[in-house]
Amino acid sequence: MNSSSRVIMASTKRLPAPVKATNEDRLCPGLGRRSIDNSIVIIKVAKTTQLMTTNIRLPKTFWWHNFAQFGGALNDNLFKLLMIYALISWQGPEAAAGVLATVGMTFALPFLLFLPVAGGLADYFSKQRLIRVLKVAELAIMSFGIVGFFQQSSGMLYITMFLMATQSAFFGPCKYGILPEQVGNERLSRANGSIQLFTFLAIIAGTMLAPELSLLLEQNYGQAACVSLIISGLGIAAAFRIAPTPSYRATTRLQLNGFKNLASAFRFIRKDGFLILTICALGLFGLIGAFIQLNLIDYGYQHLDLLHEQATRLFLLAALGIGAGASLAGWFSGRSIEFGIVPVGAALMTLGMGGLAWIDAGNIPAASLYVAVLGLGAGLFVVPLEAFLQFRSPSKQLGAIQAAGSFCSWMGILLASGLLFLFSAVLDLSARHGFMIIALLLAVLTLLSLRVLPDFFAKFVVMLVTRACYRLRVRGLENIPTDGGGLLVSNHVSLMDAVLIAASMQRRPRMLMSRDFYEKSSWLIRKCCYLANVILIHSGDNPKKLIRSLQSAREAMDAGFLVCIFAEGALSRSGMMRPFRPGLERIVKNSSYPIIPIYIGGAWGSLASYRNGMPRIRPLRELRYPVSVDFGTALPTESSVFQVQQAVTELSVQAFDALKAGRESLGRAWVRSARCHWSHLAITDSTSKNLSFGEALIASRLLQKILRQSIDPAEKHIGVLLPTGAAAMLTNLALCLDRRVAINLNHTTPSEIFQAALRIAEIKTVVTARAFTEKFPEIPLPPQVLYLEDLLVRPTGLDALKQWAVAKFAPVSVLYPDYGFVADDLATVLFSSGSTAEPKGVMLSHHNLLSNIESFRSVLSPHRDDVMLATLPLFHSFGYTATFWFPLLSGMTTACHTNPLEPQPIGALAARTRATILLTTPSFLLAYARKIQPEQFAKLRYVFAGAEKLQPRVADLFAKRFGVRPLEGYGATELSPVCALSLPDIEVGDLAEAGSRPDRLGRVLPGMAIRIKDPETGKILSAGDEGLIEIKGPNVMLGYLGREELTKEVLQDGWYATGDIGHMDSDGFFAITDRLSRFSKIGGEMVSHGAVEQALQQSLGLGPTDLAVVAVPDPQKGERLCVLHKTLPIDKSTLPEHLGALPISNLWKPKPGNWIEVDELPYLASGKADFRAMKDLAIK
């Protein structure tokens, strides 16, 4: 036998010392000084990865225990109902009410007498041994009761009922107390849920089995009760399979005076208003539950004209409803406790009870519906209360307070029996009138719960709507303080951000909200804001008002609340994080409150963001829109605004990395994009070859089949040697679809470096074109070369139709079988440009490239009508990701030209295709500005330059000629490659957002983080300090191919050391001073080649292609600076005077003898300066 089916959610947390919460007095006057919001009501686990409960395997010993308690609960219900049927049968139908009341009181009394003692025994002896003893006692009690049935002895049956309840009272503390010993804290929640599920199954089974056995055996109750012996025997067998548990006799004093502990518990409860409410509510639930169970049988007989056995089936519906309600409450709450469910449960119970009171006689379908609603409400009502009771109780008094809660519940059950006797025997009221009276009581309870918990109810409604409209993923809940005040600091990208944060956590944060937004909102939104106690603030307020708002936030934290501030001060207009404002420092000044960073991911792009124009709140138009909320580790109070923004930025890395588990491949992404934009132009080139997305998919599939037949299946790395164009793109797509790694080779590198790349990547086969190899005969090709001219065959007739149908309609898994695929699978190897050292094979995964594309797309917001002007080669990381994969996966047209050094055909191509986006290098921009006609670039709206510094004069010249200013970005092959970007200044609504700053490379893209570190000490530097730039994000490479030691040098804890020296300002804009490899230590001082270079270029009026500084070995100083230059505008004899006038240290000035004139400075095909070749020239 077992204790009653009260739903309990496990919690291992306890509340620390009380904290002042004067703001709660208006919600719950007279309930004491402890605020329910001073603590987070959450079931603690080792690591929270999302809001829903994770799947955790439970041990076998738990399942044996669960089966044993299931048998006890089944016997409780089966035997009790058989006993009720027998007593009514023996005493007559008119005695039914009296029998039900007497049975209820007989069953409740032992719980009141023995529960306090039972808790002490369970804390003293081994719970496993107690369970075994109690299961054997159950068999003996069942045997005694069966004799009573055969003897038709009412006295023996009442004694059996008393003994059954006594056994259940002693079993209850063991039933729940053994769980932590069996499953540990991390699995406690799931174990409790499983226990409750099996308990309700037992109630349902017992409720169904009792009337069926009674009718089947023609009311021979003795024979029917023999089934209980079988169930009890199986329960004993299960109990003896439970693993041993410890005894606490050595450390615990056996306390047999349970009522002394009970009195102590009630003295503690009296000091806590919310515990008083919880205990009273649980007692009321016990009363209502018992009244329903007892009154339903008589109600069915009187009002629905059912036999007593048939009326029992109504309780089956109630039990099903309770189980469903408990499951829903657990789902709504996740790992927290959602108090807003309590008023909902109370309202549903009122509706169900009132419906039963007012329906017409004999209306069985309506009665069944109302009983189910009643049960549903009961399940919703009790789960938060039980969970809160466990959470709120200090650990040392947990057992006593739990016993007090159970005691009150059983007092309610006993009172229910008394009420039933009063209504039927004394007042002569029908069962229907009994439901009517209880319904009125429940209506009062519903109104009371709404009065006590109005903000909890509002938060629950908001949470419900949010979860229905958004696919919300929450990580880091363990980082939220479990009690006391704190400051939540979040990025701000949409109007729904506050709602998303509130729906993600249990505690009710006090939000700082724009007064302007509040005043313009609808009545409903303002009402919800009032219930949520938002703190209004506005950037346009005078200083006194601003200070008053910040003081209100501080007062809320002093009262024990969490306060949430969107430190950017306004919604992002670009998708990039705006600079944080210093108000957060004032809020926590002279306090010890923690600062918890929050990052909201995915909301940029929703209707509530500025990505698609003015934001609007239309959640029903974006059902199941994916959004994530990440809570970071708490920061110390003294953290600066810059440090807080850095922490939020680093959380964005976590948000993007979390997508890895569900990340699909580049091949699948290409298939989906092609099908989505089937008829739209995908690829065009200077020869006017046009391919739609559908045609490109068909062509890449055909080429995939041909390459599969031509290449050994064991070969995974395939070289591609083709100029930028449709052929190169289709070859890369075909190899991707074939699950091979396409490696685009640089034909401009020296032959020894080209051969080294083939060797490092183990490339045995190269796909190329004869026209290309004939143009560059010096390229050292491997033994197997596949020429596209020999491979391509145009399908005709039925074959063409078949290829079209498969590409258009076949499952994606047919076009790209992804068995065994993981997001970290290698997608390509790009060899670095080798401007300062020997090229390295950079391994980039599918996750790297797709994450970089998503970050780039989120701030660029490309349109379907955009056209990418692609001139960079595919062996260039910028060309590979930004001008090849990015437009194809974004539904854009790619306009290709084979050679970036040919301005005239590029201009003609741009004019013909109405190109809107150009990504290139500053060297090429200068040539375009000089030779391309303004009308040919008339449609350009974005021009980005990377790979080298963009000189202001080049940007000015380009902007003057074409009306669009080139913007700088920052990246590296190791970063897939785009990391940071400058954007045009944006003005939407009444706010402008700076997208760029002079001499800055922009801000880091979403999903990435940047930090500046001292290269010698490793210390993380603050805003404005110069040091080594490190980048972290899902775009950071897997490593260098075949060079594990070098990989370890540059990759540590996910941070990539770029080798660039620079600094970042407080608003997140950063600049590069030079490469770390372009520094020399001369006279004990670090000298930047780039700084010297820039000073010389400015003083002589030369550009980067005219003059460069390198370092060469020096036997005395270690290194000396040399200047490589074209023809100088001054006489070399005047160099000493000219150098003397330069505003740099004399130590930095290259000696006149170290100036070397050359015809041309060496440059790589990517447009970067070839510093290695320059150094070789200087040494020679």
Tell me: pLDDT of 193 over 70.
no
Predicted TM-score (pTM) of the model is 0.73
Q: Phi then psi for 1108, rounded to 5 degrees?
A: -145, 150
For residue 621, name the pLDDT band (cuts at 50, 70, 90): low
Q: Assign domain 1010-1074 one CATH number from 2.30.38.10, 3.20.20.80, 1.10.287.130, 3.90.230.10.
A: 2.30.38.10
Domain ranges of the chain: 1-13+60-255, 456-662, 666-978, 1010-1074, 1083-1179
Cα 416-422-426 angle, rounded to 5 deg: 165
Model pLDDT, residue 358: 86
Per-residue pLDDT of 861-871, as tens digits, reads 898 899 999 99
Q: Which CATH architecture has domain 456-662?
A: 3-Layer(aba) Sandwich (3.40)
Cα 354-359-363 angle, rounded to 5 deg: 135
Mean pLDDT of 830-844: 74
- CA dist 1165 and 145 (Å) reads 95
For residue 741, name the pLDDT band (cuts at 50, 70, 90): very high
Question: Could you give the 3-state DSSP secondary structure of residue 486?
Answer: strand
- CA dist 1001 and 986 (Å) reads 17
Higher pLDDT, 366 or 621: 366
Q: Which CATH architecture has domain 666-978?
A: 3-Layer(aba) Sandwich (3.40)
Q: Which CATH architecture has domain 1-13+60-255?
A: Up-down Bundle (1.20)
For residue 48, name the pLDDT band (cuts at 50, 70, 90): very low
For 290, the token pair is 């018992």
Per-residue pLDDT of 274-331, as tens digits, reads 778 788 888 888 888 778 777 777 788 787 877 766 776 777 788 778 877 877 776 7
- CA dist 337 and 380 (Å) reads 12
Mean pLDDT of 533-543: 77
Contact predicate 206/81, CB 8 Å: yes
> Please, which residues have CB within 8 angstroms of residue 250's CB and are 6 or more apart in sequence?
none
Q: What percentage of the chain carries pLDDT values higher than 70? A: 86
> Please, which residues have CB within 8 angstroms of residue 1175's CB and are 6 or more apart in sequence?
1110, 1111, 1112
Contact predicate 120/53, CB 8 Å: no
> Please, which residues have CB within 8 angstroms of residue 598's CB and are 6 or more apart in sequence?
488, 489, 490, 491, 501, 564, 629, 630, 631, 632, 648, 651
Model pLDDT, residue 735: 96
Assess whether the region 666-978 and the region 1083-1179 belong to the same CATH fold: no
- CA dist 976 and 886 (Å) reads 12
- CA dist 996 and 988 (Å) reads 16
- CA dist 907 and 915 (Å) reads 10
Q: Could you tell me whether strands 784-787 and 765-768 are parallel, antiparallel, or unpaired per DSSP bridges? A: parallel
Contact predicate 734/698, CB 8 Å: no
Residue with the two structure tokens 């010389």 = 1096
Average pLDDT over all residues of the chain: 82
Tell me: pLDDT of 1138 over 50.
yes
Asked whether the CA dihedral 576, 578, 579, 585 is positive or negative, the reply is negative
The residue length of the chain stands at: 1180
For residue 14, name the pLDDT band (cuts at 50, 70, 90): very low
The closest of 1065, 1144, 1060 to 1097, measured between CA atoms, is 1144
Tell me: pLDDT of 189 over 60.
no
Higher pLDDT, 287 or 948: 287
Model pLDDT, residue 1169: 80
- CA dist 1132 and 1143 (Å) reads 19
CB-count exposure of residue 674 (10 Å: 0-12, 13-18, 19+): buried
Model pLDDT, residue 845: 97
Residue with the two structure tokens 């069966």 = 146
DSSP string, 683-704: EEETT--EEEHHHHHHHHHHHH
Class of domain 1083-1179: alpha beta
Tell me: pLDDT of 23 over 60.
no
For 399, the token pair is 């057992």
Neighbour-count burial for 945-976, b at 16+ CB within 10 Å, e otherwise? bbbbbbbeebbebbeeebebebbbbbbbbbbb
- CA dist 357 and 1156 (Å) reads 104
- CA dist 86 and 334 (Å) reads 44
Distance from chain centroid for Cα 867: 34
Pick from 88-102, 917-931, 1092-1106: least confident: 88-102
Pick from 48-52, 347-351, 1166-1170: least confident: 48-52
